[in-house]
Amino acid sequence: MKTSRKNFAATVVTAGLVLSTSLGAQAEEAVSRYLVQYHSPGIVQNVARQLSSPALGGAQTRVRVMQNDLRVVHALRNTRMLEILATSSEIAALKNDPNVALVEKEYFFPAPQPLATRTAKPAAVSDAATLPDPKDLFDEGEITWGLKAVRAVDAWKSAQSADGTQTIAGRGARVLVLDTGIDRDHTDIASRFEAGRNFLARTTEVLPGALNSLLPSAANLLGGAEGSSTKYDYFDENGHGTHVSGTILGAYNGSGVSGVAPLANLLMGRVCGKFGCTSVGIIRGIEYGIEQKVDVLNMSLGGPMASTAAREAVAAADRANVTVICASGNDGQASVSFPAAYPGSMAVGAIDSRLAKASFSNWGPELAIVAPGVDVLSSVPTGSGREAKVEMEGPVKGEVKSKSFVGAEENEVPLTAELVFVGLGKPEDFTGKDLRGKFALIQRGEIPFAEKVKSAVGAGAAGVLIFNNTVGLISGALTQDGTSVGVPVAMIEKTVGDSVVAALQAGEVARASLSVVKTNYSALGGTSMASPHVAGVAALVKAANRNLTAAQVRQILSETSSPMTASAERPNEFGAGLVDANAAVLKAISLR
């Protein structure tokens, strides 16, 4: 999402539900979700006790709070907030209540998306001796280049049980991830999974039963239709949350991909879905983490709009000794996003395997540290990953680098066809083009991948090759519901695409062979992928010394990082430097 702080308000979607006293032509008034914070914690504690009374029947109950009659959904004790449903006139009355410190309406911001996997400039480092050698940073079995870069394996060896018989590797640490959900049955996640919750609002949760049938569109807006076809409501339909979780603590089990802290335990709070991430859900998720006494909370999400309620929630987590780790943002700007920019959280930027700053990674005064965030291999919901193989014939010959997409059709037997260039893949670009039995060659840009592929399939294409408009490759999703687009789809590099287009425009013929197979893993990029590396290190540190406070964990991570020199035009682009798991764990052990 490329949105500046000043224009973010235009992208925010507030969740409003329309209620009516009857189906007739009576006055209607919008009802929205709000968070209300009180100056006195005792007020919220009292409401929480009332809601727990069997006589009241739980949440969604009219409760008299001081001089206001409120429709309360949840009482959040640790942040002194109530989640309520209210009309604008009810909110006006609340704002005049001297006991009220804050009233904040629910808003949505875009869910995190995968980004480019390469950067263009080499790193400038202040002390090369403290950094890993880029020549050693490559995926090797279960050990990814990211684990090598943060020295996770060395940290596993450094932290042993008192009798020396057990590797700690995060054992006993509990990590809450607030994200798009989780595939709890994934082979790398199942043994680490502890609990999950869905914090996206659903009509059955937020509306009186008799009114649910009136509002199908509101159900979709608030996530009520999401997860309905799955066996649990926090299932990951996007893939992002499973990927983040695997990076933190994927099991080191002889197959797949290991996480930084492979013996830590996972809790998942689903706060993002098809329509974005909910501000109220995130704060409820933070409250959940405090209640569950987790050690680390990772939020690979955010935007440029500050929220007083979220700031208060992060502060409450910090007071409860929950180490909050957040992604710095993917706008490539000198502006750290929220919640990463709040005091009490640790903002994480992204680097690639050459130890260069990722071009998309935000930086600024609040940036604390950096970690691997480019071409990071990790878990995705079982069978949703796609691995492509592309071989070219004609002006470009041989196998070329490629990535496939979630939702691409699986075809283990390679399909070979002639290539037809159709520009950006807009509907008008297919006019007069014969795509039957051929592959559409499409340039990335302007419209979503899914729209390009839909038009190609409609024109009869047997497959689609999308070439990038910048250095490297990216992956993503063509569908959000587990279905297939019906044809194999892959991305190839810009240089390859440009060469083939030039040859086609000169009258040459080009062909390609394309196969796509299902996997349980995918390589993604973003500060979303950097943040979980640091969250994993925080879990290693906490497991090595259970007595550390959240502030001490953050200090250890910063003090033991490997320094990197920022460029003159991007001050503080690396924060304290590259996180070093082994140095951090050794420091934690020394403070026992």
* CATH number, domain containing residue 577: 3.40.50.200
At 355-375, the pLDDT tens digits run 999 989 999 999 999 999 988
pLDDT for 558 beyond 60? yes
**Which of 61-65, 85-89, 283-287, 541-545 has the least mean pLDDT?**
61-65
List, in order, residues 6 or more apart from 332 with CB less than 8 Å away.
2, 359, 360, 361, 362
pTM: 0.83
CA dist 140 and 131 (Å) reads 19
Alpha helices in 308-357 (DSSP H): 308-319
Write down the pLDDT at residue 10: 27
Mean pLDDT of 488-499: 93
Examine the pLDDT at 481 and tell me if it is beyond 50: yes
Pairing of strands 439-443, 463-467: parallel
Decide: residue 258, CB within 10 A, 0-12 exposed, 13-18 middle, 19+ buried: buried
* Among candidate residues 477, 494, 519, the one where a domain is terminated: 519
Q: 4-8, 27-31, 494-498, 501-505: lowest mean pLDDT where?
A: 4-8
pLDDT, position 484: 85
How many residues comprise the chain? 592
Q: Is omega for the bond preceding 414 within 30 degrees of 0, making it cis?
A: no
Contact indicator for 200, 278 with CB cutoff of 8 Å: yes
The whole-number average pLDDT for the span 83-99 is 93
Amino acid type, 302: G
Average pLDDT over residues 406-431: 91
Q: By three-state DSSP, how is residue 190 classified?
A: helix
Kindly tell me if the per-residue pLDDT of 25 is higher than 50. Answer: no
Tell me if 123 is assigned to some domain: no
Task: Please report which confidence band the pLDDT of residue 384 belongs to, taking 50, 70 and 90 as the band edges.
Answer: confident
What percent of the chain is modeled with pLDDT above 90? 63
Whether residues 369 and 439 share a domain: the answer is no
Beta strand 16-20 with 81-86: parallel, antiparallel or unpaired? unpaired
Residue 68 has pLDDT above 90, yes or no: no
507 and 537 part of one domain: no
Answer for the pair 537, 579: CB distance below 8 angstroms, yes or no.
Answer: yes
162 vs 193, residue with greater confidence: 193
Q: Confirm if 100 and 68 have CB atoms less than 8 A apart.
A: no
Q: How confident is the model at residue 309 (pLDDT cuts 50, 70, 90)?
A: very high
Is 118 a member of any domain? Answer: no
332 and 210 part of one domain: yes
Neighbour tally for 465: CB within 10 Å: 28
Residue 3 falls inside a structural domain: no
Domain boundary among 519, 546, 563: 519
CA dist., res. 204 & res. 213, Å (int): 10
Other beta carbons within 10 angstroms of residue 472's beta carbon come to 21
Give the pLDDT band (50/70/90) at residue 529: very high
**What's the pLDDT score for residue 359?**
87
**504 and 531 fall within a common domain:** no
Residue-wise DSSP of 529-573: HHHHHHHHHHHHHHHH-TT--HHHHHHHHHHTSBP-PPPTTSTTS
Domain boundary among 487, 519, 551: 519
d(CA 61, CA 70): 8
Asked if residues 468 and 116 have their Cβ atoms less than 8 Å apart, the reply is: yes
Q: Is residue 122 part of a domain?
A: no
Tokens of 299: 């939020």
Dist CA 539 CA 535 (whole Å): 6
Q: Is residue 2 part of a domain?
A: no
Same domain, 294 and 168: yes
User: Is residue 140 pLDDT above 70, yes or no?
Assistant: yes
Number of folded domains that form the chain: 3
115 is a domain residue: no
446 pLDDT band, cuts 50/70/90, is: confident
pLDDT at 164: 66
Does one domain contain both 216 and 341? yes
484 and 404, same domain (yes or no): yes
- If asked whether residues 19 and 79 sit together in one domain, one would say yes
Query: For the residues 414-427, what does the mean pLDDT come to?
Result: 94
One domain, residues 404 and 342: no
Averaged pLDDT, 563-586: 92
Q: Is residue 114 part of a domain?
A: no
| Bridging pattern class, strands 16-20 and 13-14 | unpaired
Nearest to 295 by CA among 503, 465, 544, 95: 544
Give residue 144's pLDDT.
Answer: 95
Tokens at residue 428, please?
A: 């008008």
CATH number of the domain that residue 426 is part of: 3.50.30.30
Contact predicate 62/86, CB 8 Å:
no
- Please state the φ and ψ torsions of residue 349, each to the nearest 5 degrees: -100, 175
Helix %, strand %, coil % of the chain (to 5):
25, 30, 45
Q: What confidence category does residue 227 fall into, taking pLDDT thresholds of 50, 70 and 90? A: very low
120 belongs to a structural domain: no
Cα–Cα nearest to 264, from 246, 281, 277: 246
Do 152 and 189 belong to one domain? Answer: yes
CA triple 324-329-333, angle to 5 deg: 135
Asked if residue 154 and residue 87 are part of one domain, the reply reads: no
Mean residue pLDDT across the chain: 85
Q: What integer pLDDT is reported at residue 162 of this predicted model?
A: 66
Q: What is the DSSP letter of 110?
A: P
What the block records as the tokens of 13 is 């979607």
369 and 458 co-located in one domain = no
Q: Can you give the residue range of the structural domain that contains 85? A: 8-109
